[in-house]
Structures are given as structure tokens and as C-alpha cells.
Amino acid sequence: MSKDQLASVAIAMTAKGKGLLAADESTSTIKKRFDAIGVESTADSRRDYRELMFRTDEAMRDYISGVILYDETIRQNAKDGTPLVKLIEAAGSIPGIKVDSGAKPFPNFPGETITEGLDGLAVRLKEYYDLGARFAKWRAVIDIAEGVPTYGSIRANAHALARYAALCQEANIVPIVEPEVLMDGNHSIERCYEVTELVLKTVFEELYLNRVFLEGIVLKPNMVVPGKLAPRQASPEEVAEQTLRLFRNAVPLAVPGIAFLSGGQSDVEATANLDAINRIGPTPWAITFSYGRALQAAPQKAWGGKVENVPAAQKAFTHRARMNYLAALGQWSDTQERAVA
């Protein structure tokens, strides 16, 4: 393990204003996205779509610090034969890789899941490093419902996250630690705070016990928000206040950066909440974004699988990336959101 290398990459991943593009949708997930826009999901169509983003010069150069890839994508070449990883590197971004194999039903814990993928991970990480990956992602999923989550499931997922993180660092790969408390359901923002606090404190306890180098990780948490079906929703200012209060109670100062997941929020909602959080500052951590749908929904719709729509899709991607760049600086506004990119 090179602590200097890990710390350097973690800092670069959360560089001022820049954020991560989560382009690591599994084959089944991206098929759902493509079905919604009437595009057949094939290896070539998935490649073409992701290539158009990686070739969007302004977005990749100025607003995106790194890209989380799926196993298929890190091995693919662009139409001209250039490895997609090389396109990302040429834009000044860092390639990363999703390494978990998904959340599966957790035996004896009805309604809860455990993320799998530890078997053989050390070998896969070495291969991914050779393919160009300098960071990785593992997502633990925590639901809120009647009697859920249980401490047993939280502890099990936190332990898996810590084992993954330790294996990553041994391979000189920065681990993104992603414990996601889902915003599904009708729970209040106070309930989200309560669950997220327990999750984060348990995760950092497990990271400590597994001797994970905190200066060489990036935390990818949910914001503190009410459930989507909650009768009372929260303003960006309330989300920001609750989220930062929680982090000051639960996140060690050694962590260099926090890159939020969008977690089912709309494009603009995720941007507005990120902006409100950064307006409160300063914080001891760099605070930015690691968005998938909140960056990609607009370009996917503009593209529609047609070559002639690539410029429009790239324009939409640049606009969304720039809006989140401004939000990561605490400088976003509705006026800029409505402006033509």
C-alpha cells in the first residue's frame, strides 16, 4: 500500500468543484434506462452512449474528476479502437470501477439485503489496476421501513464495506465507501437522520477495526432527506442543515472528501440540495457529487440512440455537469439552471 498515492488520488477525486460521473450501471439497469428512451441495449449501443460522454471535452475536462465504470466498459474500446479508459485519462479524469456484485436478500433478515462480491476481489482488483482503475466503488443498501433496518444488517454491510476498502488499499486503489440509506418510503427527515447516523458510525467503526487508511478513501453517502412518500418534504436549506449536522457528529476529519449520491432525487433537486450544503460551509471535507441519473437522464433523452443527436446529448451532459460544478462551489442558481448550456 502506498499511502501517499492513495491520499493523492482521493484528493484529486474531490478536487474543488469537480465531481464523479457514475457510469457503472449494470447491464440490466442500463437496459431499463434504454428501454425508457426506445433504444436496444447491446454492447455497441452501451459503448456508443458512454463514449459520447467521455468525448464531451468541456464536461470531462472542467467538471468531472473521475468516472465509475462497469466491468464491461473498462474493457471496451471506442469506435476508433481507443480504449475508453484512455479517453477518460486524456480528458484529465480518473478511471474507477464498480466491484460489488449487487445487494442480495440477507438470510434471516426479512426485507433487508447484504452486498456481495468479496470472493476473489483481491485478484480482480489487481486486474482492474492493470486496466487503469485507480479507485473503486462498493454500495451497501440500507432500507427504512417498519422494523427495518436492524442493527445486524447494518453491522454486516458495514463489515463488508470495510473488508472491501482494506482490499482496495492493499491494491493501491482508493475505495469509495458508499453506505446508501434509501429515500424510498414515507419516513420523516428525522428518521433518515437517525438511521444514517447509526449507519455512518458503524461504518467508521468497522473501517477502524480493519485498519483502513481514512485519508485514502472517499465517502459516498446519502443526503439526509425525508422519504419520497413522506407527507412533509424538506427544503434544500433544511436538507443542508440536517446533513451537515450529522456529518459533524459522525464523519472523522481525516476523510478528505464526501461525494454525494443522488439517490433517486430529480436532476435539479440533487443540484439544489448540493448547492445548499456548500453554501453553509466551510467544512473540513471537500463536498461534491457522484451522480448517475442526475447527470445522465438529460443526455440519454437527448441522444435517443441516434448518431445525429450526439451533439445535443453532449450539450445536455455539459449543462448538467456544469450545474453540479457550480453547486459544489455553492454558486448555483435557478437562473443558471434555466440558461441554455
Q: Regarding the domain with residue range 3-338, which homologous superfamily does it belong to in the CATH classification? A: Aldolase class I (3.20.20.70)
Parse the chain into domains and list their residue ranges. 3-338
Q: What band does 338 get if pLDDT is binned at 50, 70 and 90?
A: confident
Residue 231 has pLDDT above 50, yes or no: yes
Q: How high does pLDDT run on average in the chain? A: 97
Catalytic position from the list 51, 178, 180, 206: 178
Q: What band does 281 get if pLDDT is binned at 50, 70 and 90?
A: confident
pLDDT of residue 341: 45
Cα–chain center distance at 102: 15
Catalytic position from the list 18, 98, 137, 220: 220
Residue 178 falls in the annotated catalytic set? yes
Burial of 82 per CB tally in 10 Å (0-12, 13-18, 19+) = middle
Mean pLDDT within 298-326: 97
> pLDDT tens digits for 175-221?
999 999 999 999 999 999 999 999 999 999 999 999 999 999 999 99
Instruction: Read off the C-alpha cell for 327.
Output: 453547486
For CA atoms 93, 259, 181, 265, the dihedral sign is negative
pLDDT of residue 1: 85
Separation CA 263–CA 245 (nearest Å): 20
Q: What share of the chain is helix, strand, coil (3-state, %, to 5)?
A: 50, 15, 35
Mean pLDDT within 231-236: 96
Choose between 29 and 1: higher pLDDT: 29
pLDDT of residue 340: 56
3-state secondary structure of 260: strand
